[in-house]
């Protein structure tokens, strides 16, 4: 905020021509709760229109429990990703309303009924069977954030007729997430066929020169068909981003 | 397309219950013109709703001229990216209706008046002054595809008040493209502040351990704020993708 | 398929000058079975003349069992690669006709008698003793696909007389697969001596600057003797490719 | 060669039961001419059935001229790859029977009439227009070595109907070379559709995270469709290898 | 030491114009104790003004115990970093005055009361909750070396208001250590706001294209705000360096 | 800034208990001048106590001239780094008070007399003769920012007596910058001998596996002697940082 | 061997002017024993003057036992490196004359008395305590091959006086092996001080940006003091090479 | 040097039991001449027994001239490597006794007659014709340092009979330097055949995945035949090292 604007704003407050409420709003969406190890970003719902989600990797059970408690107290639902099975069970014991899904490795405390807020269908596609865990993280996240969400799995380029035979499903979608490992070619092929945004999620599926997904990621970044790319195995990020698009 | 469906379709055609036109449509958007060195994808406008654009790098003047001629004959406007100054001049001589812009390195044959087809504003942000050529490629492309487009340059994180002082511009946008080199931190910061899709374009600006933009690209892929990422210096791709989003 | 051809085909069907069967054939080899998690590509035998093989890595016991069941029901034999010992045992319990080979880590359900369909001998060479598991994956696959297959192990360049002393075996082969880790030099040396296609398979054998087989892979790609290269430890792919050549 | 065999061979020669000619043959194909800077491998035609080719990169005009002279004196035709235009002109002046092709950057001294020795068609496919120089190096080499050779250019995955619309050409081939840069996806797609060997040649076409063709190369090595891979821009090697296959 | 100076020094000693003590001092701070596996650098306190610290990784219990004994015998306090929990317990049994801290993975034998020798406050900042172990290694080390040390955790750029809301704490510090994983953007942002030295410590927190902290490290090295960088997870080094600065 | 604090501040302004001036100060140091291509950060002197410096790489003559004009108009001195000789000459023509130094590639508009504001000596050390340009960038910057600065060049570890023979110079320094390419060992050796902060600047000097300075940079990051590291060839950054330390 | 020479040799044998024994010698040192999984290179002692050593990594107990049996039957002593403790115990049970050393991870079957065949002293130096296992592999190998061998451990550059204080030991050596991890600077420093060959062995000791020893390896390859380099952790290779030098 | 020894030495000097000369000798070989930009290491001849050589890359004509003058004044011969042709000519003009060799890119001021100080033959081998410049740098250096030196060029593994046909030359050598680019396999093959030290010099010859010699370098480091490795294109270092060995 430049000096002149700030000066005008503060002078306005001093003069009474700008109310404190209105001035506050210029700085809005800045609330958080300080758990010391974590500063829970309750303001994100205001700033971004989507609540915070817990990234579980590298956090202890105690830390996650504190955060879940804080979010619940704030009236939020909870989605925690990258939760190992044993951690998931422990969370289910602590939070009986929660549920753990071991395919997507997500822990959730959700209201029964999803309110559909997305305008169209988010389609989650996987190239192979082994990419399903990443695809499911995207699927669960997309559902959590109120999108009608569909799946189409194991339609990679080695047998492209499996994709061609499902073009109806593909053509209905408003946003498409494609999870693919190995050579990561599927997002390019899909994006060449549709006119909606395609989000590529490279997966760590592969061996040798796949370098844990690096090859798939680089391939997507070099796509000749205009694909946006997320980090390796980042099903959550892709679905969060699909949500940002699907509510436009 | 699976066997049963195909069988049904062809049997329908045979029986007369499916017209050839309707069957054709199931395979629609497949036209192209074959210049031998290039197969110009006239069907893309049907398949994707956006016409083809010429990627100039590695193509000869003869090849580009052939393509421009083919597209013009097809009634399309022309946008050719990654055109060196000398190539640009030669194209201007061959196509007097064309125009070359040396900041963005684009050659264009466009109708006078842009029809605005995007629903909101696409904002192009650059972290530094040196990122401007990439940002301009995005800007030119976004305008070409019918988006109201604005710019905000040199607002990188070394002096974050320059961004904070322009939040009004930022808050108005429906899609935001952020071009940044060096440590590539700006897209994360912007995405933490807004609720619309942010597209990160790493640039090759930097030296030493920037590795020609690799560091910026990796940083964006690891963003804690959900940013979609394109290839290094790919201003065109980012704007094309912004267009796909902005017409939703 | 271009518009004109498609138009002609469909018009032919409508006119009765093209039969549905013949039209079907233009799209042939497109069958698959949808297990939801997996779309089993039964059409591959028609398209490529070789049936599908199960890549076991990253698949659950349940998923593999479903696929084996589907393939068996389709009358196919089964080869599943990258099966851990414990998974192999479980599959043997479920499919008593199956057999698990722990050196190559393959599970197979095969008819007793191999029909030899390859025209010549496929030779599998290993540079060292530690490369044998990869060589055996190639050997088992080559046998599965009907090739007369021979082995020559531990003839690496540190004692090149071991190779020179076996040139008869080498000279008889119609296709040669060479598995080598560390500096990956053996395929170059072999290819310098024979006039048949040599397929290099880098292995992850080595330590330090072998980077899990990367060095061997790069060395083969830079061979001065014309070697084709497959992914690290991809004994299966090499033998599948040898089969494609050996049946020509 | 093991001691016993060698002992037997030499004893046979001593005893007169093995002729010198026959013993020579056990060591055959070992001739070369020593130009000091270069040892021209005239024996390669015997060992491998294909004559040597000159790799021009990094050699001086004088060195190349010496080699061309040596090969011509030996009655061989000449193919020299990676020859810059200026070097090509100089060679044409020195060897008036030679011809320089600037698209493929090859210099050739060839007999008028090609003897077709390959059994089927070698098809050279390029993903984009910019990949043509590499594809042409493969095309020229394939023709040089006596293969009926066809081309199919600019059929990359961004508009896959361009490939689908040319399946007849593809289906006729006995060996297929696919040159592709950027994400390198085309060889996978082609290999998924045919039952003949597909040879992938990554090209250095691309920018940013294509890393001079590394991404395309890695993608091909990770193909889910069994593709053999050559070094970046190595059109020559791919065609040489296709020749080895096509004469089987 | 150049010949002339040395000559002068030795001649001085010979002449009696330079005392042995004074000559010794020219070579001072060179004492060590030889445990054979380790040469404990007791002279470091003289040379550098800070005592040696034990880097535990890769050392056996026996080796560490020997070193601790040697240092204690020399009257030094002990700080051993990178000590696994089981090793820490064993050390506590052997050295009852010692204490093990499992968050920072440090073992210490310290005098009760810290003497504050640093001139100002060292502030340890973490971008996320998962970066805390590295931040704590820095915190413990900073306290060990006599700095007044404060913490500010989980203030990363995804919610930059959490940092902005704690500027008082930030502004008070004389040296700031910032531990951040993923895109490693926080040190740049902090350094853009303050006029004191900021030390960036990339952490291995992240997944996929974070490459175990490499991305964060590269980002910090490319900072547009002048940040000094240490090795990934090197909380110790950062705090040791902060100590060197803070006592100036 | 958290909501409560902000609320209190604004309420204070409204109530008159907080003056606009005092509120302004809470947001101080936020001024910049908007040249559109560049937002000149005049507030940096307030925020950080050091004025902005122009990074010349990738900027046009026009852009740099605008910035120099803006800074001069603001009463600032000017230091522009990474200025090519031809650009430097052009700047000297435009700004007759300026001076270009071609060893360090810096352009400066400086007042005659340096005010020494640093408390001690900044020593700039180079490992080899070829590292001097980077060392000189550091030297010039250090002088520009008011440090007494000394040089010690070509004292690398291949002849370590050259360093040992200059320990007096080394021991006098309050901060030491060490520029080294190739194996980058010198900062470790220096830091093992002194008790003041050592700043390592890897240089791009070397060839082959130096990878443009990457090896030197990695070596410094792995120093066993606690060295802080800057980007390859970043002499400016090191000296800026030395200034931050030297004024403490 | 060129044709003429071979022709002459064979003709000589035929003529009786060359004896079979003498002809055999021209191909000498080519014996091996074929265990199928391994071809034991008994001829190496003749070709290279040093017997084969067993590289244990990746070999099964059965394979190693076969090799040990073969070598013992051939009258050779046995050295097997990279043997895990459990494998070592099993080998000791099978071969009661054998001995396992867990620091160097070597299994040996050796005659009681070493015959000293090396002409001078091989000195093994380690930079840190954690590098000792690699240094011990070198030490054990050097002793096995008949060198007088000495050790000097933990004399890294962080406290270079520990090296300077042991120059007598260093100056006595005829060949010096230096094992160092982290920044790998010690071989450069040692080689700057002596006139005998220094062999650098990078170790995998370190963390973060040491990349498992890659940084140390690259640093040694860029040494300004002429150091020869071996693979990461390759203590065996360094000592084998030292033996080749020390018997000259 | 440890305290006690130093104490003893200095006390000895004080007591007169140790002469200054003798004490000086304990610190001997430490002379250098300070040209400010360069500290010429005249003491190296004493410390290492071999005089300093000028590494030309990155040095200006003025700097090199100063060094040549200093070395000549000291009575040394001069070898300067990595000298571009234009620089070489300029040096020849300044130093009429000098000579420039453009194949090896070396400038020399040498006495007419070489004194042979090496005990045996140093053999320089190149894999291909393009590797000759690096091989020649090694050849020139080896001759400069008094070794009888021979060459064997273009004997790479694609036609291994060219090496086998020259085994006499190979077998005569006391030290062998092998320069090879591309897959870098030749040093392994050579080292498998001889019992003397083989020094591998990877060259930057190649393209694509040779990565400027990185692949060859990694291959040599992973050699199964015990090869010592130098930096890419470092012909000088290899020959310097060969000299250290050859005078033992």
**Predicted confidence (pLDDT) at residue E19 exceeds the cutoff of 90:** no
The reported pLDDT for the residue numbered B114 is: 81
Q: What's the distance, CA E222 to chain centroid?
A: 23
Contact in structure between E233 and B245 (CB atoms under 8 Å): no
Please report, in angstroms and rounded to a whole number, the separation of the first and last CA atoms in chain C: 27
Longest Cα pair distance anywhere in chain B, in angstroms? Answer: 71
The reported pLDDT for the residue numbered D25 is: 61
**DSSP for G137-198, written as a single string:** HHHHHHHHTT-EEEEEES--GGGTHHHHTTHHHHHH-SEEEEEE-TT--HHHHHHTT-SS-E
**Predicted confidence (pLDDT) at residue C4 exceeds the cutoff of 70:** no
G29/C161 Cβ within 8 A = yes
H183/C184 Cβ within 8 A = yes
Q: Does B28 touch chain A (CB under 8 A)?
A: no
**Predicted confidence (pLDDT) at residue E111 exceeds the cutoff of 90:** no
The reported pLDDT for the residue numbered A136 is: 98
Q: What is the mean pLDDT of chain H?
A: 91
Of A60-64, D204-208, E41-45, the least confident: E41-45
D164/B44 Cβ within 8 A = no
Q: How far is H223 from chain F (nearest CA, A)?
A: 18
**Predicted confidence (pLDDT) at residue B145 exceeds the cutoff of 60:** yes
Out of B32, B55, B231, the one facing D159 most closely (by C-beta) is B32
Q: What is the mean pLDDT of chain E?
A: 91
Q: How far is A51 from chain C (nearest CA, A)?
A: 31
Q: What tens digit of pLDDT does each residue of H25-51 get?
A: 665 556 788 888 998 888 788 778 888
**Helix orientation angle between C235-246 and C132-144, rounded to the nearest 10 degrees:** 40
Contacts of residue E88, defined as CB under 8 A and 6 or more positions apart, other chains included, come to E100, E102, E105, E107
G27/D7 Cβ within 8 A = no
Q: How far is H53 from chain D (nearest CA, A)?
A: 27
In chain F, what residues touch E2 (CB-CB under 8 Å)?
161, 165
The reported pLDDT for the residue numbered B136 is: 98
Q: What tens digit of pLDDT does each residue of D63-95 get?
A: 999 999 999 998 899 999 999 999 999 999 999
- Mean of the pLDDT values across residues B38-52? 84
Interface test with D, best of G7, G9, G14 (most D CBs within 10 A): G14
Contact in structure between H188 and H220 (CB atoms under 8 Å): yes
Give CA–CA dist B145/B242, Å, rounded: 10
C231/D240 Cβ within 8 A = no
- Mean of the pLDDT values across residues C226-233? 97
The reported pLDDT for the residue numbered F25 is: 61
Interface test with C, best of A126, A130, A215 (most C CBs within 10 A): A130
| pLDDT classification of H6: cutoffs 50, 70, 90 | low
- Please give the interface size between E and G, counted as residue pairs whose CB atoms are below 8 Å apart: 56
Ranges in chain G, pLDDT < 50? 1-2
E192/B157 Cβ within 8 A = yes
DSSP state of G210: G
| pLDDT classification of C71: cutoffs 50, 70, 90 | very high
Contact in structure between G76 and G67 (CB atoms under 8 Å): no
The reported pLDDT for the residue numbered A14 is: 81
Q: Quick check: helix, strand or coil at residue F100? A: strand
Give CA–CA dist D156/C66, Å, rounded: 35
| Structure-token pair, residue A101 | 């899904």
Contact in structure between E184 and E217 (CB atoms under 8 Å): yes
Closest listed residue to residue D141, CA positions, set D194, D77, D89, D204: D77
The reported pLDDT for the residue numbered G142 is: 97
Interface test with B, best of F33, F38, F40, F58 (most B CBs within 10 A): F58
pTM of the model: 0.92
Q: What tens digit of pLDDT does each residue of F127-171 get?
A: 999 999 999 999 999 999 999 999 999 999 988 888 888 888 999
Q: What tens digit of pLDDT does each residue of E59-73 get?
A: 999 999 999 999 999
Contacts of residue C177, defined as CB under 8 A and 6 or more positions apart, other chains included, come to C122, C123, C124, C125, C135, C138, C142, C198, C199, C201, C235, C238, C239, C242
- Mean of the pLDDT values across residues C181-199? 95
G240/H226 Cβ within 8 A = yes
- Mean of the pLDDT values across residues A20-43? 75
Judged by 3 or more CB pairs under 8 A, whether G touches B is no
User: Block means of pLDDT (10 residues each) for chain D, length 248 residues?
Assistant: 60 80 62 86 81 92 95 93 97 96 95 89 97 97 97 91 87 97 96 95 96 97 96 98 97
The reported pLDDT for the residue numbered F13 is: 79
In chain A, what residues touch E210 (CB-CB under 8 Å)?
231
How many helices and strands, by DSSP H and E, does chain G display?
Answer: 11, 11
Of B164-168, E196-200, F30-34, F79-83, the least confident: F30-34
Of A115-124, C74-83, C154-163, the least confident: C154-163
DSSP state of D210: G
Contact in structure between D41 and D67 (CB atoms under 8 Å): no
Give CA–CA dist G99/G107, Å, rounded: 6
User: Which is more confidently placed, C17 or F223?
Assistant: F223
| pLDDT classification of B176: cutoffs 50, 70, 90 | very high
Contacts of residue B86, defined as CB under 8 A and 6 or more positions apart, other chains included, come to none
Q: Which residues pair with D228 in a beta bridge?
A: D199
The reported pLDDT for the residue numbered A241 is: 98
User: What are the φ/ψ torsions at residue E34 (nearest 5 degrees)?
Assistant: -100, 105
Out of G32, G37, G43, the one facing C132 most closely (by C-beta) is G37
Out of E161, E165, E208, the one facing A204 most closely (by C-beta) is E208
**Predicted confidence (pLDDT) at residue A126 exceeds the cutoff of 90:** yes
- Mean of the pLDDT values across residues A214-234? 97
- Mean of the pLDDT values across residues C57-63? 94
Contact in structure between H38 and F156 (CB atoms under 8 Å): no
- Mean of the pLDDT values across residues B102-119? 92
Q: What tens digit of pLDDT does each residue of H179-238 get?
A: 999 999 999 999 998 999 999 999 999 999 999 999 999 999 999 999 999 999 999 999
Strands H99-101 and H228-229: unpaired
Residue of chain G minimizing CA distance to C134? G58
Residue of chain D minimizing CA distance to A128? D224
Judged by 3 or more CB pairs under 8 A, whether A touches G is no
Q: How far is A112 from chain C (nearest CA, A)?
A: 26
- Mean of the pLDDT values across residues F107-114? 88
The reported pLDDT for the residue numbered H4 is: 61
**Predicted confidence (pLDDT) at residue H1 exceeds the cutoff of 50:** no
- Mean of the pLDDT values across residues H156-169? 86
| pLDDT classification of B5: cutoffs 50, 70, 90 | low
Q: Which region, left, alpha or beta, applies to residue A85 given φ > 0 means left and ψ of -120 to 50 means alpha?
A: alpha
Q: Does C154 touch chain G (CB under 8 A)?
A: yes
Contact in structure between F187 and E239 (CB atoms under 8 Å): no
Give CA–CA dist B69/B95, Å, rounded: 9
Q: How far is G189 from chain E (nearest CA, A)?
A: 16
Interface test with D, best of A128, A178, A181, A188 (most D CBs within 10 A): A188
Of C15-29, E87-101, E201-215, H12-26, the least confident: C15-29
User: What are the φ/ψ torsions at residue B160 (nearest 5 degrees)?
Assistant: -70, -15
Q: What tens digit of pLDDT does each residue of B111-129 get?
A: 878 889 999 999 999 999 9
Q: What tens digit of pLDDT does each residue of C88-117 get?
A: 999 999 999 999 999 999 999 998 788 899
Q: How far is G196 from chain D (nearest CA, A)?
A: 33
| pLDDT classification of F124: cutoffs 50, 70, 90 | very high
The reported pLDDT for the residue numbered D5 is: 61
| Structure-token pair, residue D63 | 């060195």
Q: Does G47 touch chain H (CB under 8 A)?
A: yes
Neighbour subunits, F (≥3 Cβ pairs < 8 A): A, B, E, G, H
């Amino acid at each position: 905020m430049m000096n002149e604007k700030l000066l005008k704003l503060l002078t306005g407050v001093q003069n009474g021509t700008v109310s404190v409420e209105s001035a506050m709003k210029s700085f809005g969406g800045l609330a958080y709760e300080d758990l010391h190890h974590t500063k829970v970003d309750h303001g994100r719902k205001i700033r971004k229109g989507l609540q915070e989600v817990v990234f579980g990797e590298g956090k202890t059970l105690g830390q996650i429990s504190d955060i879940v408690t804080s979010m619940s107290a704030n009236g939020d639902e909870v989605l925690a990703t990258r939760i190992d099975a044993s951690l998931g069970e422990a969370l289910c014991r602590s939070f009986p309303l929660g549920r753990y899904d071991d395919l997507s490795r997500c822990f959730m405390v959700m209201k029964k009924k999803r309110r559909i807020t997305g305008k169209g269908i988010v389609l989650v596609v996987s190239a192979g069977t082994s990419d399903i865990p990443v695809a499911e993280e995207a699927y669960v996240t997309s559902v959590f954030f109120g999108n009608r969400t569909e799946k189409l799995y194991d339609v990679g380029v080695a047998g492209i007729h499996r994709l061609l035979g499902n073009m109806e499903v593909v053509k209905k979608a408003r946003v498409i997430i494609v999870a693919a490992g190995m050579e990561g070619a599927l997002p390019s092929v899909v994006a060449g066929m549709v006119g909606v945004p395609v989000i590529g999620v490279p997966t760590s599926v592969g061996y040798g020169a796949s370098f844990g997904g690096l090859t798939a990621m680089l391939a997507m970044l070099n796509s000749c068909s205009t694909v946006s790319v997320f980090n390796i195995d980042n099903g959550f990020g892709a679905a969060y981003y699909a949500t940002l698009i699907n509510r436009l």
